[in-house]
Chains A and B, each alone.
Chain A
Amino acid sequence: MVGLATVLGSGAMTNTIEELAGAGAILVIGSNTTENHPVIGYRVREAVRNGAKLIVAEPRHIPLVNIADVHLRLKPGTDVALCNALVHVIIKEGLEDKEYIRERTQGFEYLQEMVEKYTPEYVAEITGVPAEDIIKAARLFAEAESGAIIYCMGITQHTSGTENVVALTNISLLTGNLGVPNAGMNPLRGQNNVQGACDMGCLPNVFTGYQPVYGDREDDTYWQRLKIEKFALQPELKSNIIPCKEKEINTSEVIADTIEFEQPVYKGMSVSAQVRAKFSKAWGVELSDIPGRTISDMFHDNPSRRNRVLYLMGENLVVSDPNSTHLRECLEDLDFFVVQDIFLTETARYADVVLPAASFAEKEGTFINTERRVQRVRPAIKPRGDSKPDWEIIQLLAQRLGLNWNYSTTEEIWDEVRELTPHYFKGMSYERLEECGLQWPCPSNDHPGTPIIHKGKFARGIGQFSTVEYRPLAAEAADTDYPFILTTGRKIYHYHTRTMTGKTDGLNALLSEELIDINPMDAQALDLNDHDMVRVTSRRGSIKTKIQITNSVTPGLVCMSFHFAKTAVNVLTGNAVCNVSVIPGVKVSAVRLEKA
């Protein structure tokens, strides 16, 4: 999301799911839409039936490839080069939206200069995609009436994740596809309320609605602290993304630019200081501006950088997160560990205290979906046994820790969010959300919500082209010891770590165990037959799993899901992170395979 926020000033899906069906062209990159977001997949197929051109950029032969006009089968981790080549072709052939570029963007000349060397032939060598396919894809996308880009974890879960998103945004801007119907940049959020968790300020550096806690200005204490090693909890925010204008900007500043504040902006007082003052007053507590740890810092290689006490709500990190052997060690090393969940998950088994939570069917509240739509969640049944809704548990704990909280309904909590986040949620009372929800921003009671953002004007004012050079992923290259590249995916029949779907027998019948995808040529070379057991070893760990011989992966590439704890692929993946968004690069790991 950081990538999209950098160039546009807002990091969410720009258009609606509904609009996809009417797109003139769709570029699906790093998203196995029909398996991971099946109902959005229906819309993509509908669009194709309606005549849309479909471009699929993906190392694997995913189901959508069957109905695609062109499949750009790129090598994992070469997305930036591919995007730059598409930009190169669009500019070379004069297919860019010149009027849009003139009126709504800046930095086109820099981009033009940068992509000069990314000829289809040069990029064909890097990505393995034939030059003529790159040219075909560029033409299909640029010549269409409207072009939507759909992307997901295949783009973001790389050590170059932010660069990938920025490179993609260039294509969207170049073809005038932002702020218009049936187009846009459409990152598909993986979990039901991941958008909400971010919007609610469950990130170290922002409160609700991305109002900065710290780090919004270079003279802010955050930046000074960054320079002092002692507090350098995050790797230095440096990358090869260069926004095409004189002054360097940073993400939080851009986000801060877009917030309309009610209180006067005092000269010399940073935005974050004002935001902290606002929340401090509303909450009746002192608020710290000391940078918080991201999840990667919480499990840092250096124990002194980690926190000693951890409160975890509703996640199964041990199965879902990268480098899980290291993670288990970190959990064991904690002084005190609290887990709040609906099941005793693999992760909860490490806890000192486990708190039983109510499931979605037993509580009141709201979720925010991938298209920024806030929707109601309603209780169908009573909580099981002594379990309680999460908010009640948090409140009970807060009261015990001396905080004077007195919420009696979730609506009171939501109204507080609306009050403190007027630019996003002010107009979204429970009453207005009753029918089918509203899409943020919705700043007043008569505001209809915002299906398309960046309409007429970008959240940050003007659309920013950025130059971003391709860099080979040195961190995780294949070599003679680890000759295969392992990528991870998901399957339609299971969800995440199966704590929920694993309880439905029918789904287990449809998919009962992990099968690592391997190309027939590789299988032959290793003398393997379908469903043979293999040992997969990376630089971090080793697991055993059965294989599935399939052409969906190219020679040298293998693919596994992370649904099954028994064959936990995240024992193999690394925790090297994208140095801007801090997303781990789990999509590329070097491994070797042996018959077991």
Chain B
Amino acid sequence: MGKITLSIDGIKVKANKGQTILKAALAHNIYIPHLCHHADLKPFGGCRLCVVEIEGRKSPIISCGVAVKEGMVVSTESPEIRQARRVATELLVLNHQVDCLECNKSIDCKLQKIISHVGIENGLVERLKRTANNTLAIDDSNPFFYRDPNKCVLCGICVRTCKEINGVDALDLNFRDYWKLSRKYQAGNISLSDIAVKGDAIRIAGFNDKPIAKSTCESCGECLVRCPTGAFISKTSVRTTREVKTTCPYCGTGCGIYLGVRGDRVLSARGDRNSPVNKGRLCVKGRFAYNFVNHPDRLTTPLIRRNGILVEASWDEALDLIATKFRQAQDKYGPQVLGGLSSARVTNEDNYLFQKLMRSLGTNSIDQCARL
């Protein structure tokens, strides 16, 4: 891939041919405010925050939608850009329910970062704000996450994720029927500002505005991890203290994951973006189904059957009993009396030692459930 040299705020930057200005800047740790852009998704150009000026062009352009060119001179700040960004940010905040102290997304919220970077005029926002009467219902139909439309800023990342990442297409930007509103406006039923703040105007919804659990949603949670605000929020969002890179224990795909751990509990998982297998993507099981690790039903001690009932025993008792029984059976019937069934769930090292043990005891009767 050919390399292109351009200048961003006076810094010489190398970029790949075809790369957008925004991606080139971010790759060199130059922050341009952006919200609807996501590295995994196609350029969208919805939030208008990433505007920049290019030498030789009259008006600012969105940097997520323009490819780099050799010798391009880009500036990311100017009075005009600041003004444009501030208005864009204010329009985003307008219908966003600001309750940051109670919001689980706080600290990780991209909108917070943008507001603190760009700055907003509170008075203006307050005047245009949606009233309490327009509060929309929270969709809690999915067992793993809430969908809170009051936090949604219509960046469309969830819609595009569902379409572009996993192809499920459960969500869309609905109620875009501005013609209905404009008809009402012409009839004198609503005012112009009503159109902007109208609660039943555009919003993210599933087919026929049904709860997400009734849609084609597969609960993979890809939208949840990409949502820049608290519009998608996990029902069990406990912050973890450390992460451990490992491999998903479910199907044969073998997705790379990071387990989120707090104390001695496994609380979450996220896809490893560097894994060539899944590139950060996960399914419902790989993302949410780790409670089995912490479950109280886990076996914690050996059990031995005594008088027909399985009762707790020590390792020494259990292992001695097995060794004795194995020996007795072999003495009586020969080595072929033993059979071993290994597992497609345990590691290679476990499997290797298992067959080594059985064969060392003189039997080749080793199998597993590969056929099921």
Q: Do A and B bind each other?
A: yes
CB of A36, distance to nearest CB on chain B (Å): 7
* 23 sampled A-B residue pairs with Cβ under 8 A: A38-B283, A39-B281, A189-B252, A194-B252, A194-B369, A288-B359, A290-B363, A292-B364, A295-B369, A307-B339, A314-B345, A342-B298, A343-B297, A360-B246, A365-B347, A370-B254, A371-B277, A376-B246, A394-B354, A400-B319, A495-B289, A503-B297, A507-B143
In angstroms, Cα B360 to Cα A368, docked, is: 24
Q: How far is the CA of A192 from the CA of B278 in the complex (A)?
A: 14
A-contact 0/1 string along B138-153, CB 8 Å cutoff: 0000011000000000
Q: Are A315 and B338 in contact (CB under 8 A)?
A: no
Choice from A288, A376, A377 contacting B363 with Cβ under 8 Å: A288
The 3 closest A-B pairs by CB, nearest first: A385-B300, A369-B254, A45-B167
Residue B357 interfacial (CB < 8 Å):
yes
Q: Are B252 and A202 in contact (CB under 8 A)?
A: no
- Residue from the list A38, A191, A320, A374 in contact with B220, Cβ < 8 A: A38
Give every chain A residue within 8 A of B351 (Cβ-Cβ): 193, 196-197, 200-202
Partner of B266, one of A380, A400, A401: A380
Cα of A279 to Cα of B371 in the assembled complex, Å? 26
Q: In the bound complex, do residue B341 and residue A317 qualify as a contact, i.e. CB atoms below 8 Å apart? A: yes
Is there a chain B Cβ closer than 8 Å to A531's Cβ?
A: no
Shortest distance in angstroms between A111's beta carbon and chain B's nearest beta carbon? 28
Q: Which residues of A contact B132 (CB under 8 A)?
A: none
On whether the beta carbons of A194 and B344 are closer than 8 Å, the reply is yes
B39 within 8 A of A: no
The docked-state distance in angstroms from the alpha carbon of A582 to that of B369 is 11
Per-position 1/0 for A378-394, Cβ under 8 A of B: 11111011111111001
**Least Cβ distance of B126 to chain A in Å?**
38
A506 touches B349 (CB 8 A): no
Could you tell me the distance in whole angstroms from the C-beta of A229 to the nearest C-beta in chain B?
16
- The reply to whether B252 and A195 form a contact with Cβ atoms under 8 Å apart is yes
Contact assessment for A378 and B256 in the assembled complex, using a CB-CB cutoff below 8 Å: no
Per-residue contact bits, chain A 577-592, to B (CB 8 Å; 1 contact, 0 not): 0000111101000000
Q: A191-B252, A291-B364, A315-B343 are in contact. Are A503 and B295 (CB under 8 A)?
A: yes
What is the total of A-B residue contacts with beta carbons within 8 Å?
470
Instruction: Decide: A192 near B298, CB < 8 A? Known: A401-B323, A507-B284.
Output: no
**Chain A residues in 8 Å Cβ range of B346:** 193, 197, 313-314, 357, 390
A477 sits at the interface (CB 8 A): no
Chain B residues contacting A359 (CB-CB under 8 Å) are 249, 292-293, 298
CB pair A506 B323 closer than 8 Å: no
Most chain A CB inside 10 Å of its own CB: which residue of B259, B321, B340, B363 = B340
- Min CB distance, B4 to chain A, in Å? 25
Chain B nearest CB, measured from A68 CB (Å): 13
Contact of B288 among A194, A416, A507 (CB under 8 A): A507
Q: Which of B315-344 contact A (CB under 8 A)?
A: 315, 318-323, 325-327, 329, 333, 335-344
Residue contact A403 to B360, C-beta cutoff 8 Å = yes
Known A315-B341, A382-B264; contact A213-B364, beta-carbon cutoff 8 A: yes
Give the chain B neighbours of A379 by CB distance below 8 A. 244
Interface stretch among A70-78, A259-267, A348-356, A548-556? A348-356
Contact across chains for B293 and A361 when beta carbons are under 8 A apart: yes
16 further A-B contacts with Cβ under 8 Å, apart from A193-B346, A194-B368, A378-B246, are A309-B339, A310-B341, A317-B369, A320-B372, A342-B292, A352-B325, A354-B302, A364-B349, A367-B247, A384-B299, A386-B300, A390-B346, A492-B283, A503-B289, A504-B289, A510-B219
User: Chain A: which residue is nearest B278 at the CB level?
Assistant: A39
Contact between A435 and B319 (Cβ–Cβ < 8 Å)?
A: no
Of all chain B residues, the one with the shortest Cβ separation from A502 is: B292
Q: Is A509 an interface residue (CB 8 A)?
A: yes
Q: Kindly supply a per-residue 1/0 record for chain B positions 349-361, scoring 1 wherever the CB is within 8 Å of any chain A CB and 0 otherwise.
A: 1111111111111
Contact A361 B305 (CB under 8 A): no
Q: What 1/0 flags go to A45-58 for Cβ under 8 Å of B?
A: 11011000000000
| Cβ-defined contact, A200 with B352, below 8 A | yes
Cross-chain contact B302 with A353 (CB below 8 angstroms): yes
Q: B residues within 8 A CB of A375?
A: 247, 254, 256, 277
Q: Are B275 and A436 in contact (CB under 8 A)?
A: yes
Closest to A49 in B: B167
* A505 touching B291, Cβ below 8 Å: yes
Binding site for A on B (CB under 8 A): 143-144, 164-168, 213, 218-220, 235, 244-256, 259, 261, 264-266, 272, 274-278, 281-286, 288-293, 295, 297-305, 310, 313, 315, 318-323, 325-327, 329, 333, 335-372
- List A contacts of B281 (CB < 8 A): 39, 42
Residues A417 and B246 in contact, CB atoms below 8 Å apart: no
B-binding segment of A81-89, A163-171, A333-341, A458-466 = A333-341
* A336-B325, A376-B246, A397-B357 given; A309·B252 CB < 8 A: no
Among B275, B305, B321, B327, residue most surrounded by chain A Cβ atoms (within 10 Å): B305
Interface pair B370/A367, CB less than 8 Å apart: no
CB within 8 Å for A188 and B252 given contacts A196-B351, A353-B318: yes
Instruction: Tell me, in angstroms, the Cα distance from A477 to B264 when the chains sit together.
Output: 53
A544, CB-defined interface residue at 8 Å: no
A285 within 8 A of partner (CB): yes
Contacts of A112 in B (CB 8 A): none
- The answer to whether B299 and A435 touch across the interface, beta carbons within 8 angstroms, is no
A361 touches which one: B266, B338, B367 (CB < 8 A)? Answer: B266
Evaluate contact between A190 and B289: CB separation under 8 angstroms.
Answer: no
Contact A311 B247 (CB under 8 A): no
Question: Quick one: given A291-B364, A436-B274, A492-B283, are A338 and B322 in contact (CB under 8 Å)?
Answer: yes
In the complex, which residue of chain B has the Cβ closest to the Cβ of A405?
B353
Contacts of A335 in B (CB 8 A): 325, 329, 337
Please tell me if A249 contacts chain B, counting CB pairs below 8 Å.
no
| Chain B, Cβ-Cβ closest to A501 | B289
CB distance from A314 to the nearest CB of B (A): 3
B301:A385 contact, CB within 8 angstroms: yes
User: CB < 8 Å: which of A188, A199, A355, A365 contacts B318?
Assistant: A355
Contacts of B249 in A (CB 8 A): 192, 359-361, 500
* A192 contact from B218, B344, B358, Cβ within 8 A: B344
Q: A322 to B371: give the CA distance in the assembly, Å.
A: 11
Task: List chain B residues, Cβ under 8 A from A370.
Answer: 252-254
Complex alpha-carbon distance, A495 and B325, angstroms: 34
Q: Which of A201, A285, A365 contacts B355 (CB 8 A)?
A: A201
Contact partner, A381, options B220, B265, B310, Cβ 8 Å: B265
Enumerate chain A residues within 8 angstroms of B339, measured Cβ to Cβ: 293, 298, 306-307, 309-311
Check A365/B348 contact, CB under 8 A, given A195-B252, A359-B292: yes
Contact A196 to B348, CB < 8 A, known contacts A18-B276, A310-B339, A310-B340: yes
Residues A42 and B165 in contact, CB atoms below 8 Å apart: yes
A15 at the interface (CB under 8 A from B): no
Interface residues of A in 9-48 (CB under 8 A from B): 16-18, 34, 36-42, 45-46, 48
Q: Which of B219, B282, B305, B320 contacts A39 (CB 8 A)?
A: B282
Chain B residues whose CB sits within 8 angstroms of the CB of A208 once the complex forms: 352
B305 partner residues in chain A, CB cutoff 8 A:
351-353
Cα of A377 to Cα of B259 in the assembled complex, Å: 11
- Report whether B253 and A157 are in contact in the complex, using a CB–CB cutoff of 8 Å: no
Given A283-B360, A414-B348, are A192 and B354 neighbors across the interface (CB < 8 Å)?
Answer: no
Within the complex, the shortest CB–CB distance from B145 to chain A, in Å, comes to: 9
